[in-house]
Structure 1
Amino acid sequence: MARPLPVPPAPPAGDDALGEQAWIEVIQKMDEVYNDLLQYEVALEEKNAALEESHQFIESVLASISDILIVCDRDGAIIETNPALQHFTGRAAEALVGTPVFDLFADEGERVRARHLVSIHGRDGIHDCELHLRAGDGTAVPVSLNCTPRLTPAGKLMGLVLTGRPVGELRRAYQQLRQAHDDLKRTQGQLLHAEKMASLGRLVAGVAHELNNPISFVLGNVLSLKRYAARLTEYLGAIHGVEGAPLAQGSAEPAALRQRLRIDRVLEDMPALIDGLIEGAERTRDIVDALKRFSAVDKATPEPVNLTEVIQRAVHWVEKSAPPGFRVVLDLPVALPCAGSSGQLQQVAMNLVQNAVDACAGRTDARLEILGGMTAGAGGQPATIAVHFCDNGAGIAPESLPHLFEPFFTTKPVGQGTGLGLSISYGIVERHGGNLTASIPDTPDGGACFMLTLPAAGPLQRG
């Protein structure tokens, strides 16, 4: 509020012009000083308002901190606390301020230990030291304490700031974190297995067709052997009188009987029939083994893998259920040796081939080119395997490219994709030390191109 200017006394009568000028200057100086005082007062009020605002902000921050906070001077007397400590001890701020900080500890042993730690490490700081404080109900509660020194601008110790959290809360938080991690790992495993089973389910038609050929071949040979067995039984019964064997009708001459039953033809056909049975059984066994390798639980220890054979198996399975016009061009070396899980890498290859089949749906010239090789590492680095899967399908929208490997993201119609295939494949390749990327090729046919890179494992040891 503005104050009235003081009225200076009138100059003495009889002063000359010089005296009047001096009084005018005095009045002007007083006016300047008064204006300065007004400005200082306004600035002071503004600073007081800012200081009050800062004080309220600090109080709100202290109130929102869930950890215990104690500010004390260099002698250990408490200067400031926060509501978390007040709630923990059951004492008001007024009852805590001014008391020794060491009185908060549970017993004399803990006080001695705390004084020793502060005297030795107080200036350097104490981190995650577990000490017992006495709670408001009288119980000793373990608290993880941190101590930080308060220093003047000159580096002189002013006091300490102690923060802490009851260890029980930390343990509960750690248990919850570990439980969440275990649940996430279990869910990830379930998703991986579910996607693998989904891929396996898409192959049922192809597997049925693949098994039908050797099984039909085995069945035909078995029926032929059954007829031949009946002839041999009849022939042996007539010649040697085998009990239960029917006697030969007509001529009892062995040569005539042998000719009529065409025993020589039977003996000539039997090795081929038996070989056919063995071949069909082995083919069926190989198919079942391939399915078992794909669906089996993966081992934790990496094993030598020939990526070329893995990709060839994946193409073989997916082609069985692909449209008739779908064509795969393979340009791979005989061996691309790497280390890892054959089943997991086959799942990645099958997913990439199956995605190409889906993307090329409706095209009469559907094509997938799989090109790969191994490049030597520079500067002593290990060699790298790079395989490109490029199709001429519908392609990928540029805005979808950054999200392609995100879980549950899919460009397929509803009900035709889970959005997990590429995400899981990306994780598998990453765990194998490699990388899986997607790009839009600059070709007239359009389409999409995926590049699979893996660290090579040297020459593959074949057993």
Structure 2
Amino acid sequence: MPDRPRTPPALPDFTAHGAPGPDGVDDSAWMDVIHKMDEVYSQLVADEVALEEKNAQLEQSQQFIFSLLTAMSDVLVACNSAGEIEETNAALCELTGRSDAALRGAPVTSLMADEAGVARIRHAMGTPALQRGGTVIEVELRDAAGQPVPVDFNCTPRLDATGRRVGLVFVGRPMGELKRAYHQLREAHEALKRTQQQLLHSEKMASLGRLVAGVAHELNNPISFVLGNVHALQRYTERLRRYLGEIHAGTPVDSLAPMRRQLRIDHLLADLPSLMEGTLEGAQRTADIVQGLKRFSAADRGERGAVALNEVVEQAIHWVRKGTAPSFDVRWSPGPDATVQGSAGQLLQVMLNLIQNAWDAASSSGASPPTLWITGTLDGTTARLTFRDNGPGIADEHLGRLFDPFFTTKPVGKGTGLGLSISYGIVEQHGGRLLAGNGLDGGAEFVVELPAM
């Protein structure tokens, strides 16, 4: 209220000439009355000032609360014990497309989009021992377009000055955008996993592709041997058929002798055992090569067993030499026979990767000849393999990123950057470690440590 002059009302001056006041009241009594009236008026003025200050404070508090409700991004509904809405905020009005005036007095259940939400609200209203810290209920509100919007409401009791529950307060956040974002994130995660599997498969196929030349060369010898023997057997079969035909026709023995010499039947019969033995040996060699290739290329099914580590290294050296690096000088110093628990195919992939990387590094640096030293040791229960090449070594800035996926120092198109990352994961899955560094005499040095059985 505006300030205005406050002066006490004028009183009659009964003491002007010492005359007694009305009804014979003396001067002192009137003075007491005047003083009391002045005190009462002063108190009224003070109370009015205090009331104006409290009104101003109350208005500020209301404005503060209103600004909080307006600024809230979460929707708020306060209802009485009968479930009638008493307070809302701007977020709820915007979501539902209804004004604050239209919402006040309406049942809180009218906000729900389905009967399930209505049942959950009524259950919360009828629960006398509602948690003071709040109870979360999942409902769907109907938005301005009439579409259901999922909201997680935190429901808390509203108490009066005596601690009696007079209603409930619902505060919630519309989860539509969040759930859509979560759905998109889950789809992206699934796509990323599929891509990762494809990349892993591509890297494995790339490793397998580097062996194709070696496999072709390796298979060529026994297959050519088998084919040559089969052709010889076909010729022998034709001779035997002619000779046996003459015998079955009843040709005299004297007449058969020249044919026997002409068809070289005795030489044929002497040659058959070695011919069959060579054919079987070539077929078995081919089967062994195919079986070894299948162990590497077959998808990993989690099947594990005892693996002779030295044999895996020797097989990897053999494949790389027969494939992409026939001139690679690999000096293999096997340690004691070490058996580890794991997947032979996966460990072969690790060895192939390390040997192939050593060849790439040594040959690209112009080392003559490209050389790799592989040393095996057995230290108690730890089998250790050290791979050291005579390449340029690993730059200091690359040491910390060497096992990161997609990191590669090779030219574009020459490497995926997944080989060492996959090898690191395989060794770790086998309970071991894959370490990288530079040798004392130069060149890169990789150490594979695996728990021995």
Is the TM-score greater than 0.5?
Answer: yes
Letter in 2 for 1:228: Y
SS at match of 1:120: coil
The answer for the alignment partner of 2:131 in structure 1 is 122
The answer for the alignment partner of 1:324 in structure 2 is 327
Q: 2:132·2:156 contact (CA, 8 Å) conserved in 1? A: yes
| Residue 419 (structure 1) shift | 1.8
CA 1:273–1:125: 2 relative to 1, 3 Å: same
CA 1:233–1:188: 2 relative to 1, 3 Å: same
Q: 1:416 aligns with which of 414, 418, 443?
A: 414
Q: 1:336·1:374 contact (CA, 8 Å) conserved in 2? A: no
Distance 1:92 1:440 in 2: 73
Letter in 2 for 1:439: G
The answer for the alignment partner of 1:88 in structure 2 is 95
| Residue 407 (structure 1) shift | 2.5
Greater C-alpha radius of gyration:
2
Letter in 2 for 1:113: H
SS at match of 2:129: helix
The answer for the alignment partner of 1:287 in structure 2 is 289
Distance 2:375 2:237 in 1: 53
The answer for the alignment partner of 2:34 in structure 1 is none
The answer for the alignment partner of 1:162 in structure 2 is 171
Distance 1:82 1:300 in 2: 57
CA 1:145–1:440: 2 relative to 1, 3 Å: farther
| Residue 304 (structure 1) shift | 4.7
The answer for the alignment partner of 1:452 in structure 2 is 448
The share of aligned pairs that are identical, in percent, is 51
| Residue 224 (structure 1) shift | 3.2
CA 1:384–1:257: 2 relative to 1, 3 Å: same
Distance 2:310 2:261 in 1: 54
1:257-277: CA deviations, max 9, x gaps?
Answer: 545544333222211110100
The answer for the alignment partner of 2:188 in structure 1 is 180
1:222-251: CA deviations, max 9, x gaps?
Answer: 343344334434433444438xxxx99xx9
TM-score by structure 2 length? 0.69
SS at match of 1:400: helix
SS at match of 1:399: helix
1:358-397 equivalences in 2 (<5 Å): 358-361=360-363, 362-373=366-377, 385-397=383-395
The answer for the alignment partner of 1:276 in structure 2 is 278
1:217-232 equivalences in 2 (<5 Å): 217-232=225-240
Distance 1:60 1:195 in 2: 57
| Residue 317 (structure 1) shift | 0.8
| Residue 212 (structure 1) shift | 1.4
Distance 1:149 1:375 in 2: 68
Distance 1:217 1:339 in 2: 36
The answer for the alignment partner of 2:6 in structure 1 is none
Letter in 2 for 1:371: T
Distance 1:368 1:121 in 2: 73
The answer for the alignment partner of 1:27 in structure 2 is none
CA 1:139–1:415: 2 relative to 1, 3 Å: closer
Letter in 2 for 1:422: L
| Residue 281 (structure 1) shift | 0.9
SS at match of 1:389: strand
Q: 1:102·1:114 contact (CA, 8 Å) conserved in 2? A: no
TM-score by structure 1 length? 0.68
SS at match of 1:198: helix
Letter in 1 for 2:435: T
The answer for the alignment partner of 2:119 in structure 1 is 109
| Residue 102 (structure 1) shift | 7.4
What is the number of residues matched between the two proteins? 379
| Residue 254 (structure 1) shift | 4.7
Distance 1:398 1:146 in 2: 55
SS at match of 1:403: coil
SS at match of 1:278: helix
CA 1:282–1:113: 2 relative to 1, 3 Å: same
| Residue 148 (structure 1) shift | 7.3
Distance 1:116 1:451 in 2: 68
Q: Alpha carbon RMSD of aligned pairs, Å?
A: 4.1
